[in-house]
Amino acid sequence: MEEKEKQAAAPEAPAEAAAPEAEVKPGRKKDKKRRGRLIGVILLVYLAVMAVAAVLLDGRHPLVELNGPAEMTVEFGGEFIDPGARAVSDGKLFGRTKRALALEADRPVDTSRLGDTALSYSATVLGKTVRAVRIVHVVDTTPPVITLVPAGALTSWLKGFEEPGYSAADNVDGDVTERVERMELNDKVLYTVADSSGNVGYAERPIQFSVSTPAISLAGGREITIQASMVYQDPGYQAQDNLGNDLTEYVVVSGEILPYAAGDYELRYTIENEQGDAAIARRIVHVEPVPLPEVVMPEQKTIYLTFDDGPGPYTDALLDLLHRYGVKATFFVTDQYRGAYTDCIGRAYREGHAIGVHTLTHASDWSMYSSEAAYFEDFMAMEEVIREQTGSYTRLFRFPGGSSNTVSSFNPGIMSRLARYMTDMGYIYFDWNVSSGDAGGTTETWKVIENVCGGCSAQPVSVVLQHDIKAFSVDAVESIILWGQRNGYVFAALDETSFRPHHGIHN
């Protein structure tokens, strides 16, 4: 057994002896590889060190160059065209490259603002950034513009030079009219204005002078004749100087004219300049009374029924009665009911009755007698109401209270003046010679009948005063008509030729 074991173990001896050779060979290969890698690393490090050294020695950096000048000027509000810049890479060892680098540039220049703008252009190489800067000056070298308003008239004898006006505008400051300075010379006006940048604008206006006294021409002539009326309408006038300047607006008219009163008047038309010189024209105005028709006395006994203060609530019934008997009457009308019965005026006119003015409102304070102007205003207002109802004005009227009234005594002389003026203007006023007493003497119908019939029986022509706003007086009319017809009277409406009873004027 031992020998077999020995024999079996014997062949393994050479293997043990050869083992050291097998281990040495692989180790050598590994060493070679390690040495190769080490040499490679060393080489790479060397190359990297050499590259870094080369870069450091080269000093590689971007180079930025401006296209065009480093400073530029652009006008305010103008267009700035940027020339731009170019960038390349540059170094000490390897020199400048041809390939352009990417540039970063600032936003465009705002030419709507004065001042300096720095435009920056930059490029980066290996972490190094280089900038180039261009300075752009936005300036204002444009002067303001002065615009002159065209002269509508030349310098005149009256006013000297009058500035027609001007305006000034600047491209930066806007409206600079308030800054304009003007210098008036003998033959021209100089205008100057400076803007905030010191630019100065100029303008010049020549002056033409007229030193002649203007001529005032009177339309219609220097002497005219008119008929009396409430309003004077001047024929007109015109004033001019020898350069054709119209100076009519400077004419002052003086002198009093009462167009409603017959007489002779003088009007003065004057232009006066600042030196006290005057141009004067005179006009003589002859105011003549309007001719009145002659009175024609009726051949028969006649009664003129007249009614004041209406129309009122009883006027329609009165018109019905008059129509039934074929009697014509006269109505001196008002509008004191403010249109409530105004249509009765038109009806009465269409049915053949006469219409005359009494007063518009019949004011209880008798204010229509406060002045001539107040009376005329009241009168013409009532005339307009009559025209609207009848289509025409009337020449007939009756004074409120009659011409002999004393209610106007607060204005001494007013009745005497009005009676004259109204007659001069061709209006015919009627008082009465028979009173019904319905204005305060009685409130009884029978008494009205008695007063009227008794009064009419004493004379051949009677103008009767009644009021159609009083029922008891209207109720008496039928009896008056019947009495008149039985006694041979005719009834008629007043006209411009009718008998005109006038009272004595007490004021």
pLDDT tens for 202-223 read 999 887 665 678 899 999 999 9
> What pLDDT, on a 0 to 100 scale, did the predictor assign at position 428?
98
Percent of the chain with pLDDT over 90: 66
Q: Is residue 502 in a domain?
A: no
| Range of lowest pLDDT (99-103, 331-335, 375-379, 447-451) | 99-103
Contacts of 67 (CB under 8 A, 6+ apart): 83, 84, 85, 86
The alpha carbons of the chain give a radius of gyration, in whole angstroms, of: 60
Q: Is residue 128 in a domain?
A: yes
Average pLDDT over residues 295-307: 97
Residue 333 pLDDT exceeds 90: yes
Higher pLDDT, 72 or 43: 72
CB 151 within 8 A of CB 137: no
Residue 115 pLDDT exceeds 60: yes
Average pLDDT over residues 328-335: 98
- By DSSP bridging, strand 302-308 and strand 278-288 are unpaired
Residue 53 pLDDT exceeds 60: no
From 120, 139, 158, the end of a domain falls on 139
Contacts of 174 (CB under 8 A, 6+ apart): none
**Together in a domain, 129 and 251:** no
CATH of the domain at 162: 2.60.40
Q: Is residue 198 in a domain?
A: yes
| Range of lowest pLDDT (2-11, 203-212, 378-387) | 2-11
CB 137 within 8 A of CB 102: no
**Together in a domain, 196 and 231:** no
First-last CA distance in the chain? 194
Q: Kindly state the tokens that stand for 304.
A: 């003129």
Q: Is residue 478 in a domain?
A: yes
Per-residue confidence band for 60, with pLDDT thresholds at 50, 70 and 90: confident
- Reported as a single tens digit per residue, the pLDDT across 339-348 is 999 999 999 9
Residue 244 pLDDT exceeds 70: yes
**Together in a domain, 233 and 360:** no
- The owner of tokens 């002065």 is 146
> What pLDDT, on a 0 to 100 scale, did the predictor assign at position 199?
94
Q: Is residue 107 in a domain?
A: yes
Higher pLDDT, 430 or 187: 430
> What pLDDT, on a 0 to 100 scale, did the predictor assign at position 206?
87
Q: Which alpha helices (H) appear in 298-444, and where do they start and end? A: 315-325, 343-350, 372-390, 414-424
Q: State the number of CA atoms in the 13 A half-sphere of 354 facing the CB.
A: 27
**Together in a domain, 95 and 163:** no
| Range of lowest pLDDT (57-61, 102-106, 231-235) | 57-61
Question: What element of type H or E holds 286?
Answer: strand 278-288
Helix (H, G, I), strand (E, B) or coil at 368: helix
Average pLDDT over residues 479-500: 98
**Together in a domain, 471 and 398:** yes
- The owner of tokens 């513009």 is 145
Average pLDDT over residues 7-20: 44
Q: Is residue 132 in a domain?
A: yes
**Together in a domain, 321 and 469:** yes
**Which amino acid, residue 185?**
L
Higher pLDDT, 452 or 97: 452
- By DSSP bridging, strand 174-175 and strand 166-170 are antiparallel
**Together in a domain, 66 and 134:** yes
**How far is it, in rounded angstroms, from Cα 70 to Cα 464?**
115
**Angle (nearest 5°) at CA 334 between 330 and 338:** 140
**Together in a domain, 175 and 275:** no
**Together in a domain, 456 and 319:** yes
Q: Is residue 463 in a domain?
A: yes
> What pLDDT, on a 0 to 100 scale, did the predictor assign at position 51?
59
> What pLDDT, on a 0 to 100 scale, did the predictor assign at position 2?
41
> What pLDDT, on a 0 to 100 scale, did the predictor assign at position 12?
46
Average pLDDT, the chain: 89
CATH of the domain at 308: 3.20.20.370
Instruction: Give the torsion sign (CA, 357, 360, 364, 369).
Output: negative
**Together in a domain, 378 and 229:** no
* Domain region containing 454: 302-491
Number of domains in the chain: 4
Rounded to the nearest 10 degrees, the angle between the axes of helix 315-325 and helix 477-486 is 20
> What pLDDT, on a 0 to 100 scale, did the predictor assign at position 211?
64
**How far is it, in rounded angstroms, from Cα 167 to Cα 305?**
76
**How far is it, in rounded angstroms, from Cα 507 to Cα 505?**
6
Higher pLDDT, 355 or 53: 355
Per-residue confidence band for 34, with pLDDT thresholds at 50, 70 and 90: confident
Instruction: Give the torsion sign (CA, 260, 266, 270, 275).
Output: negative
**Together in a domain, 327 and 429:** yes
CB 166 within 8 A of CB 191: yes
> What pLDDT, on a 0 to 100 scale, did the predictor assign at position 55?
58
**Which amino acid, residue 394?**
T
Higher pLDDT, 20 or 334: 334
Higher pLDDT, 132 or 222: 222
**Together in a domain, 243 and 115:** no
Q: Which residues on adjacent β-strands are paired with residue 286?
A: 225, 264
Q: Kindly state the tokens that stand for 205.
A: 């206006």
Neighbours of 345 (CB within 10 A): 23
Under DSSP, the state recorded for 106 is: P
